[in-house]
Structure 1
Amino acid sequence: MNKVLQLWRDNRGILVFLSLMFVFRSAVADWNDVPSGSMQPTIEIGDRILVNKMAYDLRLPFTTVSLIKRADPQRGDIVIFLSEAADNRLVKRVIGVPGDVVAMQHNVLSINGEQLVYNRPDTAAEFYSATDEGSQLLSEQLGNITHTVKLAPFATGRDSFNAVKVPAGHYLVLGDNRDNSADSRVIGFVPRKEIVGRAGKVLFSLDYDNYYLPRSERFFAAL
């Protein structure tokens, strides 16, 4: 016991700091690495994104228990959720909120009977790399949010689904890389309780294909 007390006296400053940091990352804000390209071109492989864990709930630290509900996810939000169906933490975009009727035909979404607007983005060339050759980039108008989606140059079988109604307490999510994303088309609707935060910014980014060198142009980029 004396050794424990002495250890606390000698290191209490760093121990308190570490404890507060873990609480902060658990309940307030955290960063999340992105190992896959399912959200390209919005989020690139190697991005570290800032996660606002208080965007929707004030949670008991180190748990998923919501103490105070602050807001609900909206269409267009990029959310981080602990998917029981996928047994993994995932990052996707909210397309349908509870009560919405959503359908997709040949990568064209319709929500509540209204087809979304698609255009060729003016900055499309910025997103292309050697692995993007032949891919199509389109801007998608989702309510007040305009973002870019990436479509494969070949049929993948994921470009269409019949109209579905999002049940209460659930959300329909898709990746911006529409033909290369294991999202609600694979794992089903996402329960509200699994959503732990909203992503809004890239903190920093490492180029995995180039010796993990930093991509300075993506530092603090808005999503």
Structure 2
Amino acid sequence: MDIRHTLKANRGFILFLFSFALLRTAVADWNPIPTASMRPTLLEGDVVLVNRLAYDLKLPLTDVVLLRFSEPQRGDVVTLNSPADGTRLIKRVVGLPGDRIAMHDDVLVLNGQPLAYRGATTRGETLAPGWVVDAVRATEDLEGRPHPVQFLRGTAARRDFDEITVPAGQYFVLGDNRDNSADSRVIGTVPREKLIGRAHHVLVSADWLGEDGWRLAPRFGRWVSAIL
């Protein structure tokens, strides 16, 4: 059977695969969460749904913007290609172009005003077998976009930096797990074209590493849940 006959006989399936690939690279995508950098908002084992058309229409598989739809907002949870090494990351936008951003003892300062934190609670969090630290969880009010954040007081982290101004066309992003996230404190500000899309729902979730060792247990309560 020659290649032309094979393609003709399977053209419907091939068209489906092409359409599916185009959908994932240009319209909508889903991303598994492999690390703890967005705890407690997102957990390892969550799979998030990403709207690739939230901000731009791009040439598939590239950072080339064909058409702009809307502007990223403070508080948006976004997927992005790291400007440092191209790694795909998921973080929260906290600084827009022109914003002045600083941090003092884990308190985010936006345009000269420290953000408010409320409802702080402390719980133990296991970072590695036998290594448990106090995790402080609170609600951060990011100019009307309240969302949970976490601080790990028993770890080494960059909790302070002097004020910077976010350059035009770029964004300052942070992980919600503030003391365990390689974000704009490490990779710098993120050019708009490096933003892939906005994550808006957890599609499915499973606990793949429980306290009793390796396992796979669905977290049904997190399925199809909105991301704050």
- Using the size of structure 1 for normalisation, the TM-score is 0.92
CA shift, 1:133, in A, is 5.3
Corresponding letter in the other structure for 1:68? L
Of 108-117 and 150-159, more deviation after overlay is shown by: 150-159
Number of the residue aligned with 2:50: 51
Unmatched tracts of structure 2, length 5 or more? 127-131
Corresponding letter in the other structure for 1:175? G
Deviation by residue 1:3-44 (Cα, 9 ceiling, x = unmatched): 122112221111111100000001000001111000000010
Number of the residue aligned with 1:146: 146
Native 8 Å contact 2:26 2:53 kept in 1 = yes
How many Å separate the matches in 2 of 1:28 and 1:70? 13
Number of the residue aligned with 1:170: 170
Native 8 Å contact 1:23 1:62 kept in 2 = no
Q: Select the residue among 209, 213, 216 that pairs with 1:212.
A: 216
The 5-angstrom pairing of residues 1-223 of structure 1 reads 3-120=2-119, 131=126, 134-154=134-154, 156-210=156-210, 211-223=215-227
Corresponding letter in the other structure for 1:60? L
SS of the residue aligned with 2:134? coil
How many Å separate the matches in 2 of 1:28 and 1:146? 28
Number of the residue aligned with 2:129: none
Native 8 Å contact 2:81 2:195 kept in 1 = yes
CA shift, 1:115, in A, is 1.4
Q: Which has the higher helix share?
A: 1
Corresponding letter in the other structure for 1:183? D
Deviation by residue 1:62-101 (Cα, 9 ceiling, x = unmatched): 3221111111211101111111303300000011100000
Corresponding letter in the other structure for 1:105? H
CA shift, 1:217, in A, is 1.1
SS of the residue aligned with 2:20? helix
Q: Which has the higher strand share?
A: 2
How many Å separate the matches in 1 of 2:98 and 2:125? 41
CA pair 59-120 structure 1, distance change in 2 beyond 3 A? same
CA shift, 1:61, in A, is 2.2
SS of the residue aligned with 2:204? strand
How many Å separate the matches in 2 of 1:75 and 1:106? 21
RMSD (CA atoms): 1.7
Aligned length: 218
Native 8 Å contact 1:94 1:171 kept in 2 = yes
- Percent identity between the two aligned chains: 45
